Amino acid sequence: MKTHGYAFFALCTPVLVLMAIAGCSAGSSDTPYAPTGSQYQFMTDYLEPASDVIWDSAGAIITAEGEVDLQPTTEEGWLKVVHAATVVAEGGNLLMMPGLAMGEADWNEYAQGLTRAALQAKRAAQAQDADALFDAGGAIYNVCRACHNQYMAQDEFE
Ligand code: HEC
């Protein structure tokens, strides 16, 4: 009877150790995936650079030489925007990952809004439609701002 009990314990211990290791590497969540950096790093290293590719490809800027249209002029240039929009669209999903998410309904709304706006940009770039891309760029910007208004302000006032 006693031996049986010990045998069970011997079997169980390595399993517990494994679970502890898995728990450590995956953070506090039960999921097999985990953020690769902080929320801040996600913003500055992932989301911002990809969004910049979209914003830098829509509308026009005024330079010393006059107005310069930013829309891509080559197939490759439009493809770059398609790729960046895909990154931003997937970013909305990542924002709902444990470790990046705030676990609130509003947060998830913004995250999903980001994905929708980025998919709009992706379709515009695929259609090489400069006006639609400009509108989608504005929609993306509005989502960034709305979430920051709610969640960055809270950070600052705490
Ligand atoms: C779901 C909410 C949410 C969305 C959507 C969002 N952000 Fe953020 N962002 C945050 C939070 C929260 C912080 C503060 C993170 C911190 O300081 O740890 C932040 C911080 C940042 C920062 C650092 C700002 C600074 O001044 O220190 C940048 C840059 C940024 N976001 C860019 C973007 C861009 C670009 C988009 C849209 C394409 C975007 N974010 C969309 C929540 C969001």
Is residue 101 within 8 A of residue 95, CB to CB? The reply is: yes
> What CATH class is the domain 37-157?
mainly alpha
Is residue 123 within 8 A of residue 133, CB to CB? The reply is: no
Distance CA 59, CA 56 (A): 8
Distance CA 7, CA 134 (A): 67
Q: Which residues line ligand 1 (CB under 6 A)?
A: 39-40, 43-44, 47-48, 51, 88, 95, 107, 110-111, 114, 140, 143-144, 147-148, 151-152, 155
Mean pLDDT for 102-114 is 95
Amino acid 123: pLDDT: 98
Amino acid 16: pLDDT: 42
CA distances from 59 to 56, 67, 69, 134, 135 (A): 8, 10, 6, 6, 9
Q: For the chain, what percent of residues have pLDDT higher than 90?
A: 73
Is the pLDDT at 136 greater than 80? The verdict is yes
Classify 64 as helix, strand or coil. coil
Pocket test residue of 149, 152, 154 for ligand 1, highest count of atoms within 8 A of CB: 152
Is the pLDDT at 12 greater than 90? The verdict is no
Distance CA 104, CA 59 (A): 34
Amino acid 154: pLDDT: 61
Q: For the chain, what percent of residues have pLDDT higher than 70?
A: 78
Nearest protein CA to atom 18 of ligand 1, as residue:
40
The model carries a pTM of: 0.83
Is residue 108 within 8 A of residue 68, CB to CB? The reply is: no
Write the pLDDT tens digit of every residue in 23-59: 444 445 578 999 999 999 999 999 999 999 999 999 9
Classify 32 as helix, strand or coil. coil
Residue 19 CA to ligand 1 centre (angstroms): 33
Amino acid 8: pLDDT: 40
